[in-house]
Amino acid sequence: MLITNNNSTRTQAVCTTAEIKPCLSPTVPADSDTNTPHSESVVSELARRLSTAALQAQIRDTTFDPQALGQKAAQIIGELSSALGSADSGSFKGMPRDQLALITYDESGTFSLAERASARLETAEQEQLWRQSATTRALSEYNTTGKTAGFFHEALSHFKSLPVIEQTQYPSAYAAVLQSKVAAGSNKTLIADSPVTSPMAIVRGFLPEVAFLKSSPPEEPTAVPRPSQADLPVTKASTTADRGRQLMVSRLFGSYEPPVVDTTNGIKCSDLARVNYEFLTKQDRQLLSEIYAYVEDKNVDMEYVDLLALDIGGYRLFGNGRFLSGFNGGSYNHQGWQVTVSFTEKDAAAASRVLNGAAINSTRFDQGFLRHILNPTYALGKLGDFDFMEHLLTKFSAEADTAVPLGSQFSKHVPKKIGEGYVMTTSTTVRIEIPEPDFVTENGVRRLTEKGRALGLTLDEDSGEAVRPHLELVRAKQGLEILRQWHGNERLPGVPGWLGSLWDRLAKE
């Protein structure tokens, strides 16, 4: 289930007795006979209690929006930290995550503090086991394919399987970021899934530490690592500015605001494992805080602001766009025809209004970012909505009075599917010359082309690759020419062999 960052009603299935996995309550002796009537009554009692907790959870999840639900979860986790000493994760061993969540976050008194702490420990153990196995699979995938696309898909599926109250403990745009990674990996003809330099760093970057994994209260320094003294915990807001800042930190970072990561002088391998938000400058974060406060009471789905922050953060990640090359001008399809990307008609009109309007000259948005994101060559990487951005950059400028009011279309964000948001055009006149190969593979069968046969190549019986026979080399060439083309170059007959190159070098001495 994907979180939507608005106040829409969310429902959670109510457990029935048939859905409850039999397991022992902490109050039942471990050596109880599971076939006795007493054991059956224990299971029935546990089912009844879980059903009661499920009803309470349904009311809670319907009442709170994602941000408030996340804060409620953090409060509960903090309270349970004091009872970890009396907890026993073995009491609920193997219980499904949704049932563990019902127990952990139950505030109706149906479950004791010790039982709730025990359920929390089992949740943490199951999560750690999944993370360990997911990391192993990700590294295996990288070693086999040089990519991590499968890991992103698995992480997204795992996130969607979590109970809603656990999803809210992740950064608000966590699912959107993973979805963009999955989309990029699946659309291989348009967006290359480039090999990563540090797969472990990538994996760790997308497995953030969340509250239900911690084993001590959030207030303890050892429980929540703080990268710098500038990190501020989320506290109760007293002013509009404080409220906006709190919203920004909660939605983009979770509990604590990390320091700014600067890539203006170059990108390190570890930077690629970070989420775009970490590259937002102090000015970016201040502006976004004010934007969150501004839209809070305007029936706007705040995911629109989250995606705008992702676009700005992506621009900062790549050295304010300096390390990005546009799609247009150097992209070709498999037949060699040039392919270009452009905005949709709607987005092109919005981009034109912004670039030619008066607000761009006085807006608080970074001019470099605006001209970057409004360039169609970067349309594939755009996540935000241009109409929404146009309203904001006008509202936060000297032309604020001319801003078009926010319409109801922004009340609920609808994710775009692959291929939406841009237009791909294949040229009929511009084509890159593709050299004729030595061989081709058709329906799994490899055969030589006319060029390959003209070169005197044959297909190796073992590997199936095109090679030049040694005997043919001896018959056709003599002396140094044999060394140049033969030794070490059976598979690359046009490239000098190392022995021939050494002979040439010695001859020049």
pLDDT at 206 (0 to 100): 81
Which amino acid does the sequence have at 197?
A: T
Task: Look at residue 1 in the predicted model and tell me its pLDDT.
Answer: 32
Domain assignments of the chain as residue spans, ordered by start:
1-225, 227-324, 327-434, 439-508
Cα gap 165→372, rounded to integer Å: 37
Given the structure tokens 């030589």, which residue do they identify? 448
Question: Quick one: which of 325, 310, 279, 321 has its CA closest to 383?
Answer: 310
Tokens for 164, please give them.
């809603």
CA distance 140 to 138: 5
pLDDT tens profile 184-214:
654 433 333 444 445 666 777 788 777 777 6
Q: What is the pLDDT of residues 382-438, one digit of tens each?
A: 888 999 999 999 999 999 999 998 888 999 888 777 667 889 999 999 888 777 777
- Sequence-distant (≥ 6) Cβ neighbours of residue 192 within 8 angstroms: none
Round to whole Å and give the CA distance between 313 and 258.
13
Q: In this structure, which amino acid lies at residue 339?
A: V
CB atoms within 10 A of CB 82: 12
Strand partners for 440: 447
Three-state helix/strand/coil letters over 156-224: HHHHHHCCHHHHCCCCCCHHHHHHHHHHHHHCCCCCCCCCCCCHHHHHHHCCCCCHHHCCCCCCCCCCC
Q: Are 229 and 251 within 8 A, CB to CB? A: no
Residue 266 is given by DSSP the state -
Q: How far apart are CA 472 and CA 345, in angstroms?
A: 61
Residue 120: which of 85, 89, 94 has the closest Cα?
89
Rounded CA gap, 500 and 493, in Å? 12
Residues of the chain with pLDDT under 50: 1-34, 186-197, 215-237, 487, 489-490
Rounded Cα distance between 153 and 490, Å, is 41
Instruction: Residue 196: name the closest of 186, 185, 207 by CA.
Output: 185
pLDDT value, residue 224: 33
Return all residues near 104 (Cβ < 8 A) that are at least 6 apart.
76, 80, 116, 119, 120, 123, 212
SS3 (DSSP) at 428: strand
Which residues are registered as beta bridge partners of 424? 341
Report the 10 Å Cβ neighbour count for 338. 18
Any idea which residue has 């479950």 for tokens? 111
The pLDDT score that the predictor gives to residue 347 is 93
Q: Is the pTM of this model over 0.85?
A: no
On whether the CB atoms of residues 412 and 4 are closer than 8 A, the answer is: yes
DSSP state of 345: H
Say how far apart CA 79 and CA 123 lie, in whole Å. 16
Backbone angles phi, psi at 71, to 5 degrees: -65, -40
Contact (Cβ atoms closer than 8 angstroms) between residue 175 and residue 306: no
pLDDT at residue 227 in the model: 33
The one-character DSSP state at 328 is T
* Class of residue 100 by CB neighbours under 10 A (exposed 0-12, middle 13-18, buried 19+): buried
Q: Which residues pair with 447 in a beta bridge?
A: 440
Euclidean distance between the first and final Cα of the chain, in Å?
72
Per-residue pLDDT reduced to its tens digit, 340-372 = 999 999 999 999 999 999 999 999 999 999 999
**Rounded to whole angstroms, how far apart are CA atoms 89 and 363?**
55
pLDDT at site 225 = 35
Find out whether 212 and 203 touch, Cβ atoms under 8 Å: no
- Distance CA(469)–CA(495), nearest Å, equals 15
Cα–Cα dist 499/496, whole Å:
8
pLDDT at residue 185, as a whole number:
57
C-alpha closest to that of 223 among 213, 233, 232: 213
> What value, to the nearest 5°, has the Cα angle with vertex 63 and ends 57 and 64?
90
